[in-house]
Structure 1
Amino acid sequence: MFGEKLRKLREKAGLTQKELAEMLGHSSNSYISDIEKGLFLPSKEKLRKIAKALGVPFKELEDMLFEEKLKELGIEEKELLELFREIPRMPKEDKEAIVKAYLKIKRRKQKWSG
């Protein structure tokens, strides 16, 4: 779980929940506590700040978050890798449909996060 992994990284960095929360601009530890309990996942912007505060690469936290989101959708990483391996063997129409679906989702995400 993302929260458990975050807690381990925070403890490894020698920070309390309150200290990390303050580094992110929060006055209480509840923000970090709630993430560690799995109540919600941080935004990409907050994830960048968390990575900087913990001294870990942003990509590492982003990958952890991606794995968590896949699990929420009921998709195992193995299944996703299998899909990506199949794409080169798919007919052109199927590849185009996948790209169109991806771009549609990306635009919708930008619309709501922007």
Structure 2
Amino acid sequence: MKKQTLMGIATAVILASYVGISVASEFGNARKGRFLYRQTCRPCHMENPVGEIPAQYLGPDSKTQAEWKQVFENYTELPCAGHWGELSDQDRMDILQYVHDGAQDSPTPAKCG
């Protein structure tokens, strides 16, 4: 009887872990997205050494999760759409995962990108 209970608990834990991992990665790989964000987006959207910002500041915490989803759904309408077109669909999903995870309404907002 105890062996069956332990097997049931182990199965429930494994299933819960699997579901948690799949929910956490709704779009793509946040770690890769952070790298791509820093390489692709940050040069224009962060203050440079002279104190200028070529484009409006845009860190992960500058939008809510819903706003980020909307940005990525309509990226072809943005002034920098040409740069976005150079990214693969997977790269865009990875960046979305990163900014979504660090959005202002996320459990852990990310300021600097």
TM-score, scaled to structure 1: 0.29
The higher radius of gyration belongs to: 2
Relative contact order higher in (CA < 8 Å, ≥ 6 apart): 2
TM-score, scaled to structure 2: 0.29
Higher fraction of helix: 1
